[in-house]
Amino acid sequence: MSFAEIVDGPFWYFSATVFVIGVLWRLVGMLNMGSKTDFSTPRSSGSAAALSINITRFFPRADFWSRIRLQVVAGYLFHVGLFALLFFAAPHIEFYREYVTGFGWVALPEWAFILVSEIAFLGLMLLILHRMLNPVTRAISDRGDYIGSILIFLVMLTGCLALARSHEVLRVTHFFLAELLLVYFPFSALIHTFTFPFSRGFMGAHYGRRGVKV
């Protein structure tokens, strides 16, 4: 069996299985952690605060804007761009139709794909540079933060290079790196993609019951 056949076959099923089971394991583990019973009389609705904080945290507080605007702008450029690439790039839709969903949907035109790719690259590069150059962010970053960023960068880069599909090596390299990312994903900080609504909700409910505005 050639390397390409392994990447297209067994390693794809292995990485997809690790990804699904790993994400479920992390979510179930987090939800089963529970919390101490709060015997105090609630001053406000914890559920409403949990919902509220999940919405309001998408927008930076005005008090902090001048200090975090780079991270906020770069974060939105990267995350929105990556979302568009993942779910609306024609090769990805073709892949989902063949391997996952059995159906497809309307794809971005090629010019939009290129534009979105550049936006996502710009956001990711700004975030990496900020992590490396800002003293506070650098101090709280660990090796896993850099590994995740570099893996995503390489997956995006090889994906753009493989867009023309004229070189099989590029396609296989892109697919292999994406599968490595799937294996790494559940055991890294990238899991925040799925856990952030729960962590935000927990914090919102905690402070909401105490009447603290969040």
User: What is the per-residue pLDDT for 105?
Assistant: 95
- Collect all residues with Cβ–Cβ distance below 8 Å to 71 and sequence separation of at least 6: 127, 130
**Residue 97, token pair as written in the block:** 């139709």
Q: Which residues of 111-132 are buried (b: 16+ CB within 10 A; e: fewer)?
A: eebeebbebbbebbebbbebbe
What is the per-residue pLDDT for 203?
87
Q: How many angstroms separate the CA atoms of 152 and 9, rounded? A: 22
Q: Tell me, what amino acid is at 123? A: G
**pLDDT attached to residue 122:** 96
Angle at 128 between CA 147 and CA 135, to 5 degrees: 105
Contacts of 141 (CB under 8 A, 6+ apart): 131
Tokens of 109: 């035109």
Within 13 Å of residue 211, how many CA atoms lie on the same side as its CB?
4
Q: What would the DSSP string read from start to end of 153-178?
A: HHHHHHHHHTTT---HHHHHHHHHHH
The pLDDT, as a whole number, for residue 188 is 94
Q: Which pLDDT does position 115 carry in this prediction?
A: 93
Are the beta carbons of 183 and 15 closer than 8 angstroms?
Answer: yes
The pTM of this model reads: 0.85
Count H helices and E strands in the chain, helices first: 10, 0
Question: Directed axis angle between helix 168-184 and helix 143-161, to 10°?
Answer: 150
Mind listing the pLDDT tens digit of every residue in the chain (214 residues)? 888 999 999 999 999 999 999 999 999 998 887 667 777 777 888 888 888 888 888 888 888 888 889 999 999 999 999 999 999 999 899 989 998 889 999 999 989 998 999 999 999 999 999 999 999 999 999 998 999 999 999 999 998 888 766 678 888 999 999 999 999 999 999 999 999 998 888 888 888 888 877 7
